[in-house]
Amino acid sequence: MGKKHIVMDIGGSKILGAVMDEDNRILFRVKKKTRPDQGVEAVEKRIAETVQELLKQAGLQKSDIAAVGAGAPGVIDTEKGIILFSPNIPWRDYPLGPNMERATGLPFVVGNDVNTGVLGEWKYGAAKGFSHVVGIFAGTGIGGGVIIDNKLFTGSRFAGTELGHMILNTEGPYCNCGQRGCLEAYTGKHAITREIRSMIVRGAKSNLLESMDTEDATVKSGALAKAVKAGDPVAVAVLDRVGYYLAAGIGNLINIFNPEVFILGGGVTEATETELMPIVQRYLPLFAWPAMLSDVSFRASALKDDAILYGAKALVLENGH
Ligand SMILES: [Zn+2]
């Protein structure tokens, strides 16, 4: 009998952990706050506690678990388990993998969260069975990953692929990364919130900004989706603009990578999927070459919030556990 896995999605605000069985079913889940402000040791301790709680809940011993797999934000050397840099947890050249192996007594494999999500969709989700895949996840930030010829592409120093920071307009709005006119600066949640605010300032009526996400001061994806469905003109116009710029970014990627399948996922996409997907598809012919576009199957994420958890299992298997 095969062993089970513990899979984790370690984010800047939440640590999600789950026990996954041999048939890739999620059996138990544990969620904790990351609290990176308390320091890296405290974060490590909570990751280890998540593993312990999962074992306890599932009534399992360490010997029942093949390995722990995790997706985390940042530039990560998966082979060595070292986080070279992370944008929202103060990890710099940080040996998270070796530290967690010591703390948990289990093999611990960690990869970039967005790449792990794409890996999940490729192995178990919407891109299963394909060899050339590109995925974009649109939420607070815009992330993406690329599978080339059945292999996740991460560049020469594990920093690939920052698809959300392709520059669509050199004189565009400033992005969190310091550049101007990135895809994220047009389609991330901060951009969406800025656009809504600007329309309201110019006289448009909308109650979209009444219930904000307190964590990052952006409009909630669910509220945006609800307003779009109710025909709120501000929400409809803003989503159309997001769809237009996403189509520009996706069109570039289709022309560059010629994928068989393109996956669109992430919090904003999931909440507004039935509206956003057709908008993107309507604008795509403006940007993608016809021959490329006819080759690609355009799909919504199948694993949704669990893409990173499934990807973590794929990551562990790819690394020999
Ligand atoms: Zn950027």
- The DSSP element (H or E) to which 82 belongs, if any, is strand 82-85
Relative to beta strand 218-219, strand 212-213 is: antiparallel
Query: Which tens digit of pLDDT belongs to each residue from 59-101?
Result: 999 999 999 999 999 999 999 999 999 988 999 999 999 999 9
State the amino acid at position 128 in one-letter form.
K
Torsion-angle region of 10 (φ positive above 0: left; ψ -120 to 50: alpha; else: beta): beta
Q: d(Cα 82, Cα 87) in Å, to the nearest integer?
A: 15
Residues 107 and 142 in one domain: no
Question: 139 CA distance to ligand 1 centroid (A)?
Answer: 14
Q: Which domain does 237 fall in, by range?
A: 126-302
pLDDT at position 1, please? 59
Environment class of 17 (CB within 10 Å of its CB; exposed 0-12, middle 13-18, buried 19+): buried
Write the CATH number for 86: 3.30.420.40
Q: Does 250 reside within a domain?
A: yes
Q: d(Cα 316, Cα 321) in Å, to the nearest integer?
A: 6
Q: In this structure, what are the phi and psi dihedrals at residue 69, rounded to the nearest 5 degrees? A: -120, 145
Q: Does 121 reside within a domain?
A: no
Residues 90 and 135 in one domain: no
Q: d(Cα 314, Cα 121) in Å, to the nearest integer?
A: 10
Q: d(Cα 301, Cα 282) in Å, to the nearest integer?
A: 19
Question: 59 CA distance to ligand 1 centroid (A)?
Answer: 45
Question: Are 233 and 200 contacting, i.e. CB atoms less than 8 angstroms apart?
Answer: no
Question: 298 CA distance to ligand 1 centroid (A)?
Answer: 24
Q: Does 120 reside within a domain?
A: no
Residues 147 and 230 in one domain: yes
Residues 87 and 130 in one domain: no
Residues 164 and 91 in one domain: no
Q: d(Cα 194, Cα 242) in Å, to the nearest integer?
A: 12
Question: 226 CA distance to ligand 1 centroid (A)?
Answer: 28
Residues 29 and 98 in one domain: yes
Question: 142 CA distance to ligand 1 centroid (A)?
Answer: 9
Residues 140 and 91 in one domain: no
Tokens matching residue 192 = 């969406």
Query: Which tens digit of pLDDT belongs to each residue from 258-272?
Result: 999 999 999 999 999
Count the domains in the chain.
Answer: 2
Question: 175 CA distance to ligand 1 centroid (A)?
Answer: 5
Question: 181 CA distance to ligand 1 centroid (A)?
Answer: 7
State the amino acid at position 183 in one-letter form.
L
Question: 222 CA distance to ligand 1 centroid (A)?
Answer: 24
Written as tens digits, the pLDDT of the chain (321 aa) is 579 999 999 999 999 999 999 999 999 999 999 999 999 999 999 999 999 999 999 999 999 999 999 999 999 999 999 999 998 899 999 999 999 999 999 999 999 999 999 999 999 999 999 999 999 999 889 999 999 999 999 999 999 999 999 999 999 999 989 999 999 999 999 999 999 999 999 999 998 888 788 777 899 999 999 999 999 999 999 999 999 999 999 999 999 999 999 999 999 999 999 999 999 999 999 999 999 999 899 999 999 999 999 999 999 999 988
Please name the residue ranges forming H helices in the chain. Answer: 40-58, 96-104, 113-124, 183-187, 189-201, 221-229, 233-257, 267-283, 290-295, 307-318
Does the pTM surpass 0.75? The reply is: yes
Residues 186 and 233 in one domain: yes
